[in-house]
């Protein structure tokens, strides 16, 4: 449990109400109860401030008049960021592993730092280096000569291939595969000839990688992920991709080989990005978009088709099929007008 006075000090917030009030969990405004703290980050939910049963709320100063009687408040500049910090302080997620389980298989040449925790049936190969405080969940496999930075945590059944480098304070969720072969083949008379993928994957510090996401090793050079990059579940990052610091990538997005993504980019869910192109710093790509060329200027880009009623979709699809016919008719009319203007005659109003 944390007192509001303690939280206010850490968040540089103003307490309105009882500074000695204690909270032990976070909750939504609608479902909050005694001992919980909630937040208002979107004004359309302001009506719930007068109804909430939370012990305290995180709000901006402008929302203070709407808080229910008897509910304490922490006034902050950004309630959502403050909520994220408090959620970390009150986090009750269990440790991924405790101690070193006897069923773990650890090569004698591996270097295991202090305070590492290794779960059941983990396999640690030759030459691996685990820095201090690393946690490995059950069934995780760390390939030959891989390196895991201090404080990084890997949930159950993560696979890290040989020579991969993971930075410090990273969180990798179950089923992620990092360092598998990139999709590299040459075609010889109709037969596919595999190209060995001799690069690796290098991931920076403070990154999070979602469940069942795959990051392929480089073909010759390395696949690189910068610092503080967050990648959602079921994403695919192909060989030789470079992702800049602080970029976010939502679920099921895919990046093809040798593409360079800048810093502070936001890639929406289901986005597909072609290979061998560049995405500038600060680019935002909305969900289900298909990027087929380089995006060289900061901004928001979209190409996804939003859902519509079936009747509207069928009507629009039918009209889309007529675009070529309409184009040819307009082109013909333009040619006729051009011919008329050359003859010095006005077009007939009788047509």
Closest CA to 211 of 262, 260, 257, 177: 177
Tokens 């479902």 belong to residue = 31
Reduced 3-state DSSP string for 16-74: ECCCCCEECEECCCCCCCCCEEEECCCHHHHHHHHCCCCCEEEECHHHHHHCCCCCEEE
Distance of CA 297 to the CA centre of its chain: 21
Question: Which residue's structure tokens are 């993928």?
Answer: 197
Query: Any idea which residues carry the catalytic annotation?
Result: 239
CA distance 214 to 216: 6
Among residues 241, 257, 168, the alpha carbon closest in space to that of 204 is found at 168
Rounded CA separation 177/83 (Å): 31
The secondary element (H helix, E strand) that includes residue 311 is helix 310-320
Distance CA 146, CA 130 (A): 9
Pull the structure tokens for residue 36. 């919980």
Helices (H) and strands (E) in the chain, counts: 4, 38
The alpha-carbon radius of gyration of the chain (Å, integer) is 28
**167 phi/psi in degrees, rounded to 5:** -75, -170
Of 266, 276, 269, the C-alpha closest to 250 is 269
Cα→Cα distances 232→77, 259, 277, Å: 27, 19, 22
């Amino acid at each position: 449990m944390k007192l509001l006075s303690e939280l206010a000090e850490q968040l540089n917030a103003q307490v309105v109400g009882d500074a000695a009030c204690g909270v032990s969990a976070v909750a939504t405004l609608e479902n909050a109860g005694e001992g919980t703290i909630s937040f208002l980050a979107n004004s359309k939910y302001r009506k719930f401030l007068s109804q909430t049963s939370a012990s305290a709320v995180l709000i901006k100063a402008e929302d203070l008049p709407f808080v229910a009687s008897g509910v304490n408040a922490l006034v902050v500049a950004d309630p959502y960021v403050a909520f994220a910090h408090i959620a970390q302080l009150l986090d009750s997620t269990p440790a991924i592993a405790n101690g070193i389980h006897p069923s773990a298989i650890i090569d004698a040449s591996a270097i295991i730092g202090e305070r590492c925790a290794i779960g059941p049936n983990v396999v640690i190969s030759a030459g691996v280096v685990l820095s201090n405080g690393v946690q490995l969940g059950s069934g995780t496999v760390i390939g030959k000569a891989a390196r895991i930075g201090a404080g990084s945590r890997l949930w159950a059944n993560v696979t890290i291939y040989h020579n991969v480098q993971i930075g410090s304070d990273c969180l990798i969720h179950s089923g992620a595969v990092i360092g598998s072969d990139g999709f590299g083949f040459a075609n010889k008379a109709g037969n596919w000839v595999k190209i060995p993928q001799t690069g690796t994957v290098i991931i920076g510090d403070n990154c999070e990688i979602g469940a069942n996401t795959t990051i392929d090793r480089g073909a010759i050079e390395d696949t690189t992920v910068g610092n503080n990059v967050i990648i959602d579940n079921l994403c695919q990052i192909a060989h030789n991709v470079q992702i800049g610091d602080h970029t976010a990538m939502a679920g099921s997005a895919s990046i093809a080989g040798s593409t360079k993504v800048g810093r502070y980019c936001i890639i929406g869910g289901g986005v597909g990005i072609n290979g061998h192109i560049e995405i500038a710093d600060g680019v935002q790509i909305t969900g289900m978009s298909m990027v087929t060329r380089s995006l060289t200027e900061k901004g928001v880009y979209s190409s996804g088709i939003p859902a519509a009623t079936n009747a509207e979709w069928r009507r629009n699809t039918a009209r889309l099929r007529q675009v070529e016919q309409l184009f040819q008719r307009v082109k013909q009319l333009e040619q006729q007008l051009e011919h008329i203007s050359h003859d010095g005659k006005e077009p007939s109003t009788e047509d």
